Structure 1
Amino acid sequence: MTAYTQQLTFFREWIKHPLEMASVLPSGRPLARMMVAAMPAQADCVIELGAGTGVITEALLQHGVSAAQLLVLEMNATLHGILRRRFPQAHVLCADARHVNELARRTGVLAPEGADAILSSLGLLNMPPELQHDILSAAFAVLRPGGVFVQYTYGWRSPLDERVCRQLRLRCNRVGMVWRNLPPAQVYTYRRDDG
């Protein structure tokens, strides 16, 4: 599937489901590279939330993440079908991110200590705090101690509500801005503050 075909398919899905899609276009490769670079150096077990057409999925596999230890969740049925065809060796599920902890355990993807990283393309900025809390709570239930949740946003601040950060004891770190993405995006990491 060419980049143009991916963009066209993504845009069509946005027209059909504008409230469910975080963007009108899929992530660009520079953004995917920054997301992958924000993971721990030796990340083996990785989960991706809201994979779209698979730009970040492809970057994860090129980085060396094994398809057998990669769980990919996408709630849009059309995009899920594309991901299944593009990445047949990965665990690609059509599912809600609020159930990531149950799904990760059921698929057997998780290492005994948990996932090293979760990379998210979900539109957190547009979600109510309660939904953000449910998703991040489920995500941190499967992240290993020291694991990282990587999120990008088109907004000018952290997309995660401050109350949710406090409730879940999360530390937020701005990784950087990707100007060569349409639209430009910022990348943030969240870690559990157990100190």
Structure 2
Amino acid sequence: MKSVRKPGAWTFFRQWLKNPLRVAAVAPSSAELAAAMIAELPDEARRVIELGGGTGAITRALLGAGIQERDLLVLELNEELHAHLQLRFPRVPVLLGDARMLPALAREQGYLEDGPADAIVSGLGLLTMPHPLQRDILAAAFECLREDGVFVQFTYGPSAPVAEAVARGLGLQVRRGEFVLRNVPPATVYVYRKPQR
């Protein structure tokens, strides 16, 4: 009997072997983790940006949850994973680039012409990043979000993925979401937002 593999699992693992700090996981996100991320989206969310698309586990779940291809923007820094995503989701705008450059990339793509995103979901390995890099990525992300939009991030560590000083400096509120045991490794979802005046 043949083993059933997730699409892109080998591609993902190979990229992790090349650069374990940049590719933060050894395997693609599970369906359970993708569901936990999507559960944190605002009820009326229509336009979503995904940071760190990987092999497309969360991309596929977003489309399955009703986000239209034209309303989803995926950003991936790794060239091989970017090429994989383009092949897998030919009608979704999949950009190759650094998350710090998100506003410029999204504008160039024309994504922001219809207004800011309702939510951003992120698979980036923020926990292992230096605080200035975390700050730059979060600042860029919130520049592309509507005023009451949410930034949904998962992490494998025991603590929040964004340093407390970074979140405080950006004026962000954080809420711990679901812990997903059925993921390799187990993961916790966190939600960041700006307080409403």
- TM-score, normalization: structure 2? 0.95
Give the counterpart of 1:144 among 137, 143, 146: 146
**After the TM superposition, which parts of structure 1 deviate over 3 Å for at least 4 consecutive aligned residues?**
2-5
* Equivalent position of 2:161 in the other structure: 159
How far is the alpha carbon of 1:3 from its aligned partner?
3.5
One-letter identity of the residue aligned with 2:20: P
Distance 1:194 1:129 in 2: 25
How far is the alpha carbon of 1:139 from its aligned partner?
0.3
Distance 1:119 1:109 in 2: 16
* Equivalent position of 1:19 in the other structure: 21
* Equivalent position of 2:97 in the other structure: 95
One-letter identity of the residue aligned with 1:135: I
Contact 2:51 2:124 in 1 (8 A): yes
Alignment of 1:100-179 (within 5 A): 100-110=102-112, 112-179=114-181
* Equivalent position of 1:29 in the other structure: 31
In structure 2, the gaps of 5 or more residues are: none
Distance 1:97 1:132 in 2: 10
Q: Using a 3 Å threshold, how does the CA distance of structure 1 residues 4 and 11 change in structure 2: closer, same or farther?
A: same
* Equivalent position of 1:192 in the other structure: 194
Contact 2:21 2:128 in 1 (8 A): no
One-letter identity of the residue aligned with 2:12: F
Alignment coverage as a number of residue pairs: 194
Contact 1:72 1:93 in 2 (8 A): yes
* Equivalent position of 2:42 in the other structure: 40
Q: Indicate the SS of the match to 1:110.
A: helix
One-letter identity of the residue aligned with 1:150: V
* Equivalent position of 2:63 in the other structure: 61
Distance 1:56 1:4 in 2: 12
Measured against aligned partners, the alpha-carbon deviations of 1:139-170 in whole angstroms (never above 9, x if no partner) come to 00110011000000001121101111111100
Measured against aligned partners, the alpha-carbon deviations of 1:33-64 in whole angstroms (never above 9, x if no partner) come to 11011111111111000010000000000001
One-letter identity of the residue aligned with 2:102: V
Coordinate RMSD, CA, aligned: 1.3
Contact 2:26 2:184 in 1 (8 A): no
- TM-score, normalization: structure 1? 0.96
Distance 1:51 1:136 in 2: 17
One-letter identity of the residue aligned with 1:116: D
Contact 1:117 1:149 in 2 (8 A): yes
Give the counterpart of 1:8 among 1, 7, 10: 10
One-letter identity of the residue aligned with 1:132: Q
Distance 2:82 2:114 in 1: 27
In structure 1, the gaps of 5 or more residues are: none
